[in-house]
Copies of this chain bind each other. A is one copy, B any other.
Amino acid sequence: MTIDADRLRHDLQTLAGFGATPEGGVSRPSFSPADRDARRWVAGRCEQAGLAYREDAAGNVFIRVEAQQPIDDRTVWTGSHLDSVPNGGPLDGALGVMASLEVVRALKESAAPLRRAVEAVAFTDEEGAYLGFLGSRAAIDGLGAGQLDAVRGRDGDRLVEAMAAAGYPPSALPDARVDPARIAAYVELHIEQGAVLEQLGRTIGLVTHIVGVGRGSVVFEGRADHAGTTPMHLRRDAMRGAAALLTELPALPAAVGAPDAVVTCGRIDVDPGADNIVPERVHLHLDIRDRDRGTIEAIEAELRARAARHAHDHGLRATYHRSSLTDPVPLHPRLQRYVAQAAESAGLAYHVMPSGAGHDAQVVAAAVPTGMLFVPSAGGRSHSPQERTRFEDIAAGTRVLYDVVRRLATDEHPPSSPAPS
């Protein structure tokens, strides 16, 4: 006995109706009416399945199946998040929660006795309508109401007021913290949000780590001049340096010997930003990601050196400013092995890969042995109504998740520590 694919399909379709948008997408931020209605429906599904539904002070949802033959008092977590970005897709987060619900439901129905309790978890506000990873941080790191006082949502409303209005008094937030030693492991199934699996024709992504993310900016400074009265040879046009650097971005990962790294300029500010004024200042906002912190730092060094060279060539000044650098998070080797073995025994082709996007798994992995697996995203689309995954891939991924969770709940020796760094 394993998962019931039809039941899973029905649950995913139903969940997509909470916050459905005219464009065919989903808007379901945490603490919204759509989020509240989705939770009520999930609680009802649990009641139908005879599963205990519980929420903590951060709004995290736990759906529990008890161990019939307990070997220790540790619990296995599997989950993701119910919230979505504005006009996002029906699967980002939602897939992991519905698959986990199905896994817990199937385990309860299964004849094989569990040696550890299993909880399907839905973490609050992963997407950061108010504060990214709010739920997993409250559970793993602990959050106090004081830390949230200044936090406001996308619409400018205060987080603490939104929480209170949704029935989660912020003063109780410290109660959401769990003792990580009581969690045997955490496994998260998610859509890839990229096109790598689709391009390779593989069904399962075995995630080895969540990439580190460097954020920073290169600013070129020249001189503002009248675009009509200043001949080309008398200009100190900040755009010239910016253009030279931008043409080099695609080759930077290979230049530092890390062809899998990614560098993106997704936003540019031009000052003064008028059609008839030669740019005085061009601000390139950069996003750099890799599995290795050293690679990100090497790319930053390249950006700095090349920006200086282009600035010199065009009579400009250039600076690089790092705004943040989050470390890569490796996932637990034993969980990687379990995912590989489950995929192999199901005859599914898998691909070993990083996660280029952030997930609750990276927060949990700091204190709990954590694993992650992907299913393909059609065309790599996510955070959009175009987000799709073939249902046979969804079912296959959920079966792998079931096998991994069942093994964690029946193993004599679960993974005993967070992943080595």
Q: Give chain A's interface residues, CB within 8 Å of chain B.
A: 192-196, 199, 211, 213, 215, 224-232, 234-235, 237, 239-240, 242-244, 246-247, 249-250, 253, 259-260, 262-268, 270, 272-279, 285-287, 289, 355-358, 380, 382-384
What would be 24 A-B contacts, judged by CB atoms less than 8 Å apart?
A: A194-B228, A194-B229, A211-B228, A215-B275, A228-B355, A229-B356, A229-B357, A230-B356, A231-B260, A231-B262, A240-B250, A243-B247, A243-B249, A264-B275, A264-B276, A266-B270, A266-B275, A266-B276, A267-B270, A267-B274, A267-B275, A268-B268, A268-B270, A277-B383
- A287 close to B227 (CB less than 8 A): yes
- A194 close to B226 (CB less than 8 A): yes
* Given A356-B229, A380-B226, A279:B266 Cβ within 8 A: yes
- 7 closest A-B pairs by CB: A194-B229, A228-B356, A243-B246, A227-B264, A229-B356, A193-B229, A243-B247
- A196 close to B231 (CB less than 8 A): yes
Question: Closest CB of chain B to A281's CB: distance in Å?
Answer: 11
CA distance A195 to B278 in the complex (A): 14
Provide the residues of chain B in CB contact with A237, threshold 8 Å. 250, 264
* Given A229-B355, A250-B232, A260-B231, A266:B278 Cβ within 8 A: yes
Contact of A194 among B231, B260, B355 (CB under 8 A): B231
User: Interface centre among A192, A199, A228, by most B CB within 10 Å?
Assistant: A228
- B246 close to A275 (CB less than 8 A): no
Question: Closest CB of chain B to A389's CB: distance in Å?
Answer: 14
* Chain B, residue nearest A199 (CB): B234
* Chain B, residue nearest A264 (CB): B227
